[in-house]
Amino acid sequence: MEVSQFFSPQAGRLIKAPRQNAANFTIGDVVRHRMFDLRGVVFDIDPVFANSEEWYAAIPEAIRPAREQPFYHLLAENDDGSYVAYVSQQNLVEDSKAGPVDHPSVDQIFEPWAEGRYRLRRRLTH
List b or e across 114-126, with b for residues whose CB sees 16 or more CB atoms inside 10 angstroms: eeebbeeeeeeee
What are the extents of the domains in the chain? 23-124
Q: Which pLDDT score is estimated for 40?
A: 98
Q: What is the pTM of this model?
A: 0.83
Q: Which pLDDT score is estimated for 18?
A: 63
Q: What are the two backbone dihedrals, phi and then psi, of residue 87, each rounded to the nearest 5 degrees?
A: -135, 140
Q: Which pLDDT score is estimated for 22?
A: 84
Helix (H, G, I), strand (E, B) or coil at 98: helix
Q: What are the two backbone dihedrals, phi and then psi, of residue 44, each rounded to the nearest 5 degrees?
A: -160, 155
Helix (H, G, I), strand (E, B) or coil at 82: strand
Which CATH entry fits the domain spanning 23-124: 2.60.40.420, 2.30.30.390, 1.20.120.420, 3.40.50.11540?
A: 2.30.30.390
Q: Which pLDDT score is estimated for 12?
A: 72
pLDDT by 10s per residue, the chain, length 126: 566 666 777 767 676 666 566 899 999 999 999 999 999 999 999 999 999 999 999 999 999 999 999 999 999 999 999 999 999 999 999 999 999 999 999 999 999 999 999 999 987 655
| All residues at 6 or more sequence positions from 6 whose CB lies less than 8 Å from its CB, including other chains | 14, 15, 17, 46, 47, 50
Cα–Cα dist 100/57, whole Å = 32
